[in-house]
Structure formats: C-alpha cells, structure tokens
Amino acid sequence: MSRRGERSDGGNICIRAVRPGDEAELTAMIHELAEFEHAAEECTVTESRLAQALFGPEPAVYGHIVEVDGQAAATALWFRNYSTWDGVAGIYLEDLFVRPQFRRRGLGRKLLATLARECVDNGYSRLSWAVLDWNANAIALYDGVGGKPQTEWITYRVSGPGLSELASRDVPGSGS
C-alpha cells in the first residue's frame, strides 16, 4: 500500500509498506526512538535482525514508512495479535516514531489512519498500542484520534536474565 500526499504542509508525503532496502533507515529510527525514550543502552537491534524479522520466511513484524520529499521521516512497526473474545486478529503497534524535524505535520496521525485502514481492510477488530506516561505529545495525538487508555490493565514484561530464569524452571508435564 502506498499513498502520496499533497505538498501543502511542506513536502511530498508518501506512506508505504516497508520493503527490502529500508533496514538502515528503520534501524536508525528505532535507535533514535530508544534515545528519545531514555533507553538507548537497551536497544540492540541490528539491520540484519530487522531484515530477518521483516522479510524472513516467517515475518515477525510488519511496517510502514513515511517519506517526505524522498527522505525517511517516520515509521510504524507492528505485528498481528489475536483477540480470543472477538475471534479475529488485530494490530499491535510496537513503535511509532516521527523524526523531530518532521513533527507537527500530521505524519503520526496519517500512520495511525493507515494502520486503521489495514485493520478494516483485513477484518481485524482492533488497533492497540502503549505509550510512556510522560510522553504528553504522543498522548495528545492518541487522544485526538479517539484512542482510549486501558486503565484497568497493567502491562507486564519479563526479559533478559528474568526470562532465562523463568524458562529454566521445571514445568510439570514438559519432560524436564
């Protein structure tokens, strides 16, 4: 899917699905996002890992990129999830990032609309994401597009050494 936009807001805008050859710009934007989120030291993605995740035999992630006058300006990386209650897939937006020099042009809103269209076109029931509680600009954007905070849910994660520790525990019936 590719959409071309008008120049009224300062450039020719193209939103398209990511494709082989985009790995360097996408990896750079992921690292820029990690820096913005004060977590640069936690970001270990490489171009080759991202290429495998996006374009390998079993893609783990999908994405869109926004170009403004041919420059990579923004990205949305996402994966399909599944709602057992609805019985259909949805999209979980893992990362939405707009480079600072391209902000305030509506690119984030356009990316969200693109993902919403992806949901509607494929019969998916929801578009979900998380946002850092201190990112007021992103929260304003998400509120502005009709996003609803899921205040009754608490997000959990296990990773790094904790993930390895959990995986090493005996699980009844697993043959361990």
Q: Encode pLDDT of 85-142 as tens digits.
A: 999 999 999 999 999 999 999 999 999 999 999 999 999 999 999 999 999 999 999 9
d(CA 22, CA 3): 17
Q: Are 25 and 72 in contact (CB under 8 A)?
A: yes
What average pLDDT does the segment 11-34 reach? 97
| Nearest C-alpha neighbor of 91 from the set 58, 59, 53, 117 | 117
2-149, what's its fold?
Aminopeptidase (3.40.630)
Asked if 61 and 94 count as a contact pair (C-beta separation under 8 A), the reply is yes
pLDDT of 2 strictly over 70: no
- What would the pLDDT profile of 45-96 be if each residue is shown by its tens digit? 999 999 999 999 999 999 999 999 999 999 999 999 999 999 999 999 999 9
| pLDDT of residue 9 exceeding 80 | no
Q: Please determine, for residue 3, whether its predicted confidence score (pLDDT) is greater than 60.
A: no
Domain regions of the chain by residue span: 2-149
pTM more than 0.85: yes
Q: Are 76 and 111 in contact (CB under 8 A)?
A: yes
- The single residue listed with the structure tokens 């042009």 is 105
